[in-house]
Amino acid sequence: MKTNFAIIAGFAFAIAGASPAFAWHLLPESTNFTGKGNTSATKSGITLKCTASFKGDTDSNGVGYITSGSFTGEIGCSSVTLKNLPWKSTAVGRYVVDIQDVTFDSPIGNCGPSTISTKLRNGVVSFSNDQVSGGCTVSGKITTSPTLSIASGD
């Protein structure tokens, strides 16, 4: 979030942080966000390329949660389903967000749960060839709205 569900965002949505002072955290805090972009998941030599649409939110401490996702594109994309939602996303560095419990079912097989490490720069969550349990790799580039970023508490 790998068919890239990342993600992340990949969003992949990169989403962030802890609450102690000086901790990295996502901005804006206490907001809903969306993410959209290209993803891919590969298992047993078969790659499924899709366009991902994610929804999530950040709490008042800048911790992110991916709460839903859907996929379009190649045959099979619409049958991809995310599992273990919400996926907690924690900022761990200036441009790094870890997304926990990434799990999905797809026509190429079931993948996860795993933590993937994503990059968040200029509102774009990206990840490349991240390993997910079940013999899967995921990649993606997800643009967030509003633009997510990472800040330090110091």
Quote the CA–CA distance of 122 and 124 in Å, as a whole number.
6
Q: What is the mean pLDDT of residues 132-149?
A: 98
- Which of 66, 65, 67, 63 has its CA nearest to residue 151? 63
Asked whether 7 and 54 are in contact (CB, 8 A), the reply is yes
Quote the CA–CA distance of 22 and 26 in Å, as a whole number.
13
Percentage of the residues of the chain whose pLDDT score is greater than 70: 85
Q: Which residue has the higher pLDDT, 53 or 154?
A: 53
Q: Where are the domains of the chain?
A: 8-152
pTM of the predicted structure, to 2 decimals:
0.85
- What pLDDT score does 23 carry? 87
- What pLDDT score does 154 carry? 65
Confidence class of residue 14 from pLDDT cuts 50, 70 and 90?
A: very low
Q: What is the CATH number of domain 8-152?
A: 2.40.128
Q: What is the mean pLDDT of residues 113-133?
A: 97
pLDDT in tens, 74-97: 999 999 999 999 999 999 999 999
- What pLDDT score does 4 carry? 41
Q: In angstroms, what CA-CA distances link 29 with 15, 45, 60, 137?
A: 10, 40, 5, 30
pLDDT in tens, 43-70: 999 999 999 999 999 999 999 999 999 9
